[in-house]
A and B are shown apart, each in its own frame.
Chain A
């Protein structure tokens, strides 16, 4: 029964979404209060019914109801409960239901928490969320129904792709979708503002929390995916510039730009039409990502469920959304009035430079991702664009961005004194140059890249620390006074500092693990040992074990340092039973400063095993940094400004001007 209930609930949700698209919009146009507030009720209703559908699908997976085709194809009775649940979104149909669930959740959230938003704008935002929801519910119902029955019912399911049976990947899609879909709200705000033909500073204040929330979740989702690729794919790499990775990275980049331009829109009442364009582009790139991943036009190491015909439907949604939004933008944006004046050297100027660098970088990534498609379409051959392209275009654009990121918080609004800011940053400049010089002399390989990367990391972390120290007058005022100032600092300022420093942490991790990775590939027989980065890794042998729904050959390696054993590692080669699919499980020992990473390969005739050993310095910092960025976003989100609808206090305790002294 649950499948029929789920199917029915989806249809009801689609009908409610239709109502949600029409009534609040009509209400906003006619200034009809009751019609406008009907939107909130419908949004809540849509969320409730999509939840029922999602719950029904989950129930079918948990109870292993193999009469449902989707469950039979993607689940198995012998699977652990956790992976029965996460299997719901481990396939195309289920993941699209999850997409709709999160979309309707965001729509409902606008209704629940948007009481400080002007009623007309809120009604339009909810209506646009309804339109997007309707499009995706139609997509699910018409092309990807997860509740189709199969007859006759198979005795057992085909099982979930074992590579997906992993906690990292299990929670990667929900987080990623919270990010992707979260940007639908900022998109809806942009379209609503264009329809109203009016954007004021308040618009920036209302948009920012949604952009922050979506951006934070997207950060975490991307990091989780990259972490999964690192430990599961067994190549010791964390980012492959794969089309699917790029698909999630491009909205993140443009979303980052939006986050910053919305600050200018809010605080200085300028850059408004640019912010609207960024909001449109961010969600467009989210949709493009969905299209690229779901249609299978690009081959990738990550995609699992693809179907060209469904791709066409998403392409239609994509074309209508992007085309419609850009036409509306071209028609209405010129009427938007710019606000506050400022000089090129100012906080506004720095944020514009940030925006230009990020959008240009996103463009180069977009070009690299689509170039193989273009070349193929023109019949010029089959090519793929690999990491060398992305490293050569992306890094030169990111380096000045991180430099600017260190300086910008020291520039006041309207007009600034660049020489004065640099003067205050003198200690950090010295430390940065010192660090870069040390790296050059320490290491002869890749010394320039390493010096640049480590220098930028030190710069970002140092400048953020100095900025906070300046604000709280550390060591220049009594310590109690500094503490009091730190407590009084706006949460959004703390969030910014945390996220900026976190960017430095990520850069350090990426640089060190790319430049100083050491690798050994060799055959080891039981009793052999290998030397790697000061560790001795001894191979004890391989045992066959059976755990749950897989068989494994498990290798035993003892790691010792200076003669003393410090760890035992157990890399595995698994064969998952329902489908007899092999997987490789790397064994990793982390010290938070470096990882020792062991992959067990195939045996040879003489009892030896091919083994891959990696030493990856600072690689955990990549994910630590990403988590810090997420926390920065969350801290900023708790700023009282986002909760209080009242007009801004005219005299703020100098949050925007660190250390006038």
Chain B
């Protein structure tokens, strides 16, 4: 086989592969991507039911309680305007604290309760998820000192 034709052959194999990869990427993006919403976005009915998404906010003080089965916990996540009831079955991360930032991954149930599969709280006392900080800034709720912490005290 002449070098030119050989190069053409490998180039076409490469292009076919690239096409396969693009197809894989496009289908994978359908369910591999999770959006980030705050409780206000959820309250505004922007979120389709049953779709997995990441809920970010502050754990509202005084709302955390253990449920009957002993391993589930319920708490409210707030962005200082709206708040949302969250239920999670499992062991909470070490840095889960009332009044601190949290990201919950899961979906809305028909009753308007957010059922979380994963709870993320970062290994840093001052942690505020970047997405959340940006959203709070957008909503004018950002306080440079402690990142909007005071509002978590308020009942909504």
- The reply to whether A389 and B71 contact each other, CB–CB distance below 8 Å, is no
Tell me which residues across on chain B come within 8 A of A610, comparing CB atoms.
70-71, 90-91
| Bound CA span A378–B85, Å | 31
Tell me which residues across on chain B come within 8 A of A582, comparing CB atoms.
94-95
Q: Does B109 contact A (CB under 8 A)?
A: no
Q: Does B43 contact A (CB under 8 A)?
A: no
| Bound CA span A604–B92, Å | 13
Tell me which residues across on chain B come within 8 A of A553, comparing CB atoms.
none
- The reply to whether B21 and A363 contact each other, CB–CB distance below 8 Å, is yes
| Bound CA span A78–B132, Å | 36
Tell me which residues across on chain A come within 8 A of B69, comparing CB atoms.
523
Q: Does A382 contact B (CB under 8 A)?
A: yes
- Contact flags B102-138 to A (C-beta < 8 A → 1, else 0): 0000000000000000001011110001110011000
Tell me which residues across on chain B come within 8 A of A124, comparing CB atoms.
none
* Interface residues contributed by chain A, number (CB under 8 Å): 56
Q: Does A338 contact B (CB under 8 A)?
A: yes
Q: Does A579 contact B (CB under 8 A)?
A: yes
Q: Does A548 contact B (CB under 8 A)?
A: no
- The reply to whether B36 and A522 contact each other, CB–CB distance below 8 Å, is no
- The reply to whether A522 and B70 contact each other, CB–CB distance below 8 Å, is yes
**Which of the segments A328-336, A392-400, A481-489, A493-501 contacts the partner chain?**
A392-400
Q: Does A128 contact B (CB under 8 A)?
A: no
- The reply to whether B33 and A364 contact each other, CB–CB distance below 8 Å, is no
- Contact flags B71-98 to A (C-beta < 8 A → 1, else 0): 1000000000000000001111011000
Q: How far is the CB of A21 from chain B (nearest CB, A)?
A: 36
Q: How far is the CB of A481 from chain B (nearest CB, A)?
A: 39
Given contacts A384-B34, A523-B71, A610-B70, A599 and B24 within 8 Å (CB-CB): no
Contacting residues of chain A (339-387) with chain B, CB-CB under 8 angstroms: 341-344, 349, 352-353, 356-357, 360-361, 363-364, 367-368, 371, 381-387
Tell me which residues across on chain B come within 8 A of A397, comparing CB atoms.
17, 20-21, 24
Q: Does A37 contact B (CB under 8 A)?
A: no
Tell me which residues across on chain B come within 8 A of A601, comparing CB atoms.
71, 91-92
| Bound CA span A37–B130, Å | 50
Chain A's closest residue to B36 (CB) is: A382
Residue of A352, A382, A579 with most partner-chain B CB within 10 A: A382
- The reply to whether B71 and A386 contact each other, CB–CB distance below 8 Å, is no
Tell me which residues across on chain B come within 8 A of A304, comparing CB atoms.
123-124
| Bound CA span A582–B93, Å | 10
Of A163, A343, A360, A371, the contact of B17 (CB 8 Å cutoff):
A360
Q: How far is the CB of A305 from chain B (nearest CB, A)?
A: 10
| Bound CA span A611–B24, Å | 38
Q: How far is the CB of B117 from chain A (nearest CB, A)?
A: 11
Tell me which residues across on chain B come within 8 A of A560, comparing CB atoms.
none
- Contact flags B21-43 to A (C-beta < 8 A → 1, else 0): 10011011101111110000000
Given contacts A382-B35, A383-B34, A383-B35, A344 and B9 within 8 Å (CB-CB): yes
Tell me which residues across on chain B come within 8 A of A341, comparing CB atoms.
1, 3, 6
- The reply to whether A608 and B70 contact each other, CB–CB distance below 8 Å, is yes
- The reply to whether A384 and B28 contact each other, CB–CB distance below 8 Å, is no
| Bound CA span A344–B18, Å | 19
Tell me which residues across on chain A come within 8 A of B3, comparing CB atoms.
338, 341
Tell me which residues across on chain B come within 8 A of A353, comparing CB atoms.
13
Sort A-B residue pairs by CB-CB distance and give the 6 closest, nearest first. A389-B32, A523-B70, A601-B91, A392-B28, A382-B36, A388-B32
Known: A299-B130, A382-B131, A601-B92. 9 other contacts (CB 8 A): A299-B122, A344-B10, A356-B13, A360-B21, A382-B134, A383-B34, A384-B36, A396-B20, A581-B123
